[in-house]
Homo-oligomer: A and B are copies of this chain.
């Protein structure tokens, strides 16, 4: 299993009139966490996309327990629990500064060849870098 953490501070525009972070904005927090997790693994998502492989989201599931508020410094914990095949699954947990678990998210993405627009297996160099964690 590979686990990583990233800090994200809540921006004003991400809150709504309830004073909470709008429920749809966590998608971006999870995405930042995924990209930083990959960077920690030695992979750059942008380079992968530029090389012809994209990773569109296939499923996205969130369970919201507590709200995040403006200016909160959140910690997003990201785990990759299984070696990816044609799909890769990220599990996220978001905590506030008091250590309270605010929500959990699961995001599955599919490796797609940009030219053919068809699913492909995770690239070799990607799998190579993940091996030591599994």
Binding site for B on A (CB under 8 A): 9, 11-20, 22-28, 31-32, 35, 44-46, 49, 54, 56-64, 67, 69-71
Closest B-chain residue to A46, C-beta based?
B71
Q: How many copies of this chain sit in the oligomeric assembly?
A: 4
**Which chain B residues border A12 with CB–CB below 8 Å?**
16-17, 22, 28, 31, 35, 45
| A64 lies within 8 A of B70 (CB) | no
Known: A12-B17, A17-B15, A17-B16. A62 touches B59 (CB 8 A): yes
| A56 lies within 8 A of B18 (CB) | yes
| A63 lies within 8 A of B59 (CB) | yes
Cα A11 to Cα B24 in complex, Å, equals: 12
Cα A90 to Cα B30 in complex, Å, equals: 23
Cα A35 to Cα B13 in complex, Å, equals: 12
| A16 lies within 8 A of B18 (CB) | no
Chain B nearest CB: distance from A53 CB in Å?
12
Instruction: Choose among B16, B35, B63 the residue that contacts A16 (Cβ–Cβ < 8 A).
Output: B16
Chain B nearest CB: distance from A67 CB in Å?
7
Chain B nearest CB: distance from A84 CB in Å?
17
| B18 lies within 8 A of A13 (CB) | no
Cα A134 to Cα B70 in complex, Å, equals: 30
